Structure 1
């Protein structure tokens, strides 16, 4: 099988660079927000004497994940209503493919529609 990898034009390369920088800025902001949420929760739990009940950073990551999933699918993140099931299907299938390809997950992704 021959793979085709186009050479970007100078304009396309500039566009890709702008998007890549924005992606990095976004990822850094999300990571910082997750750390801040975990720190805020830890301080709040310490204040009420419930240090052992402090959620892990992964809890807050799952909150962001669910919110983003709803936004990608067109659903209301607060009520989970109104999402497009076709987009949801493709988002899930993409996640399955990533897990299988990059992390050797023992999973068979949903078949293509």
Structure 2
């Protein structure tokens, strides 16, 4: 039996629209902050005459990901202390499901504990 998509009321549609606009604005801000961090690091490396490569955009994205993972799990992003392991496992399982469903990863997410 197929699931039906409910027709949203006008009030529900307004709430969904607000959340979607806010999500889009959030992500635009995050992407810009990542690019700013990348550009700033490159400029700072150049200003000191460093021959080392500055961190790439993906480095800063990985740092952000790790800190947001801690936030989602209730842990301190600086110390990684105090998080909820059940939430942590569910976040990892969600990532595994995304990799499997959207990118065809050959992975079987662990069963619920």
User: Structure 1 length as normaliser, TM-score?
Assistant: 0.95
Q: Deviations over 1:77-106 (max 9, x none)?
A: 000000000111110000000000001111
Between the aligned partners of 2:95 and 2:51, the Cα distance in structure 1 is 34
The answer on whether the counterparts of 1:76 and 1:82 sit within 8 Å (CA) in structure 2 is yes
CA drift at 1:42: 0.2
Within 5 Å, give how 1:7-18 maps onto structure 2. 7-18=7-18
> Are 1:52 and 2:52 an aligned pair?
yes
Q: Deviations over 1:37-66 (max 9, x none)?
A: 000000011112224321110000011101
Structure 2's unaligned 5+ residue stretches are none
CA drift at 1:3: 1.7
Q: Deviations over 1:7-65 (max 9, x none)?
A: 11111110000000000000000000000000000001111222432111000001110
The answer on whether the counterparts of 1:76 and 1:83 sit within 8 Å (CA) in structure 2 is yes
Larger deviation, residues 40-49 vs 20-29: 40-49
- In the comparison of the two structures, how many residue pairs are matched? 113
Return structure 1 stretches of 4+ with deviation > 4 angstroms.
none
User: Structure 2 length as normaliser, TM-score?
Assistant: 0.95
Between the aligned partners of 1:93 and 1:103, the Cα distance in structure 2 is 15
Within 5 Å, give how 1:74-93 maps onto structure 2. 74-93=74-93
Instruction: Give the structure 1 partner of residue 42 of structure 2.
Output: 42
Larger deviation, residues 84-93 vs 2-11: 2-11
